Amino acid sequence: MFEPARNAPLTAIHRGRVLKGEAWDDASLYLADGGLVDAPEWGRWLDARGCLVLPGIVDFHGDAFERQIMPRPQVSFPLPLAMLDTDRQLAANGITTALHGVTHSWEGGLRGPETLRRLIPALDGLRPRCLVDHQIHLRFECHHLDGEAETLAWLNSGWITLLAFNDHLPGMTRKPHKWKEWADRAHTDIAGFEARLQAAAARAGEVPALIGRLAGEAHRLGIPMASHDDHAVEVRDFYRDHACHISEFPLNREVAEHAARHGSPVVCGAPNVLRGGSHVGAPRAADLAADGLCSILASDYYYPAPLHAACRLAADGLLPMERAWALVSSNPAAALGLTDRGSIAAGKRADLVVLDVADPHAPHLVATISSGRIVHLADSSRLHG
């Protein structure tokens, strides 16, 4: 991190190969007041010679921040400290807009309501110190019947960019060997966790109506919605009927094909691309992307993944770089309704990544620019003025 660079806004980027839509342009870029402009101004400029200049990454879903809050079971750190550390990690990995996947669950503990109750005011207070833009992806566990009122209040707070419906309870019921791990996260013991699980499962008959009420309010507010871990076409159709159009991490190819056929964005994990497959048996994201069945790649649990996954798809010849990069920039921005970012054009936010891909399998992040400020710079000799 080159901290002094943050104190003065950048006014130009010269000599780079700029991605504009799906075309490449060798023209300079000009920045003013945190946005991209047509007219040049004199000031500090960045030499992007030999590099690609790309839109900043819009991370659709990431929950790696949980490791900063709770790096070990039942060992927690203050939210301001955890989120400032997260902020630096995001900038150092080219992520200029981060949607934090905050779970509101019947589990309690780290994924209970207390996290979001504290996270929203913490982020609000930290905003002047943050390097990148932080937004909330509210992951609602469908069996959390007691969380309805608070969820509705959060939807109306103006803080929620995305509502996702999660239903992890059936899978948790089938995995008692993991209850100790989940109990630690929930700040209880195994017996306490089992009691919470059984209490939530007992109200399963109320879940569809609850989803309908929450989806109706999100739709009224214009908040996009995603269904998580769709395992069957019928599940995807249920959510689509509730104006929940995004399929996040479909568990089989049939669902991905069905979602794509209906024009729904399909989200896959960028770590899946890097690791060569899913750790939970979902389809290979690289295959889905190559076949046009994955439109968005998210960091999921590993912030370096989006940048490196996009480059891997291009380096392996599965997609041209401009289409691979769209999976982490313009496509998620469009799905989320963030019309001011995700692409490079006058009037857009000056959220940019300067990337050296001389070795396409080992890309080097030279600089991250967020709202016209350099927030990560690996080579200070490139900065002039």
For the stretch 103-135, pLDDT in tens is 999 999 989 999 999 999 999 999 999 999 999
**Segment 134-156, tens digit of pLDDT:** 999 999 999 999 999 999 999 99
> Do 176 and 278 fall within a single domain?
yes
> Do 333 and 354 fall within a single domain?
no
In whole angstroms, give the CA distance from residue 146 to residue 186: 16
Place of tokens 């990995």: 93
Predicted pLDDT at 8:
63
CATH number for 223? 3.20.20.140
> Do 34 and 65 fall within a single domain?
no
DSSP 21-79: TTEEE---EEEETTEEESS--SS-EEE-TT-EEEEPEEEEEE-THHHHH-SBTTB---H
**Segment 317-354, tens digit of pLDDT:** 999 999 999 999 999 999 999 999 999 999 999 999 99
Residue 263 half-sphere exposure toward CB, CA atoms < 13 A? 2
- 100: nearest Cα among 76, 144, 130: 130
Residue 378 near residue 365 (C-beta atoms within 8 A): yes
- What percentage of residues in the chain have a pLDDT greater than 90? 92
Residue 136 near residue 160 (C-beta atoms within 8 A): yes
N- to C-terminal Cα separation, the chain = 19
In whole angstroms, give the CA distance from residue 260 to residue 255: 9
Q: Is 85 exposed, middle or buried (0-12, 13-18, 19+ CB in 10 A)?
A: middle
| Three-class secondary structure of residue 233 per DSSP | helix
Predicted pLDDT at 5:
44
Backbone angles phi, psi at 215, to 5 degrees: -65, -40
Q: Please, which pLDDT band fits residue 3 given cuts at 50, 70 and 90?
A: very low
pTM for the structure as a whole: 0.94
Residue 365 near residue 376 (C-beta atoms within 8 A): yes
Residues sharing a CB contact under 8 Å with residue 213, sequence separation 6 or more, in sequence order: 148, 152
Predicted pLDDT at 55:
98
> Do 108 and 143 fall within a single domain?
yes
Q: Please, which pLDDT band fits residue 41 given cuts at 50, 70 and 90?
A: confident
> Do 180 and 318 fall within a single domain?
yes
Residue 330 half-sphere exposure toward CB, CA atoms < 13 A? 14
> Do 150 and 18 fall within a single domain?
no
> Do 23 and 138 fall within a single domain?
no
**Segment 296-308, tens digit of pLDDT:** 999 999 999 999 9
Q: Residue 23: what residue type?
A: A
- Spell out the alpha helix ranges (H) of the chain: 65-69, 79-91, 113-126, 148-155, 169-173, 179-185, 190-201, 207-221, 233-240, 253-261, 270-275, 285-290, 305-315, 321-326, 330-336
| pLDDT value at 25 more than 90 | yes
Q: Give the mean model confidence (pLDDT) for residues 226-236.
A: 97
> Do 1 and 16 fall within a single domain?
yes
Residue 44 near residue 384 (C-beta atoms within 8 A): yes
> Do 327 and 348 fall within a single domain?
no
> Do 140 and 38 fall within a single domain?
no
Provide the residue range defining the domain that includes 211. 57-341
**Segment 241-294, tens digit of pLDDT:** 999 999 999 999 999 999 999 999 999 999 999 999 887 778 999 999 999 999
Backbone angles phi, psi at 384, to 5 degrees: -135, 160
> Do 235 and 173 fall within a single domain?
yes
| pLDDT value at 6 more than 60 | no
List C-alpha distances in Å: 205 to 129, 174, 211, 381: 45, 19, 11, 63
Q: Give the mean model confidence (pLDDT) for residues 1-25.
A: 79
| pLDDT value at 1 more than 80 | no
Predicted pLDDT at 231:
95
- What percentage of residues in the chain have a pLDDT greater than 70? 98
DSSP one-letter code for 80: H
Residues sharing a CB contact under 8 Å with residue 80, sequence separation 6 or more, in sequence order: 122, 125, 126
In whole angstroms, give the CA distance from residue 120 to residue 159: 8
| Three-class secondary structure of residue 347 per DSSP | coil
Q: Which of 323, 341, 359 is the last residue of a domain?
A: 341
| pLDDT value at 7 more than 70 | no
**Segment 64-109, tens digit of pLDDT:** 999 999 998 888 899 999 999 999 999 999 999 999 999 999 999 9
> Do 114 and 258 fall within a single domain?
yes
**The total number of structural domains that make up the chain:** 2
Residues sharing a CB contact under 8 Å with residue 173, sequence separation 6 or more, in sequence order: 197, 201
Residue 259 half-sphere exposure toward CB, CA atoms < 13 A? 37
Q: Residue 234: what residue type?
A: E
Q: Which two tokens stand for residue 209?
A: 């109506």
CATH number for 362? 2.30.40.10
Place of tokens 């990560």: 376
In whole angstroms, give the CA distance from residue 324 to residue 341: 17
| pLDDT value at 2 more than 60 | no
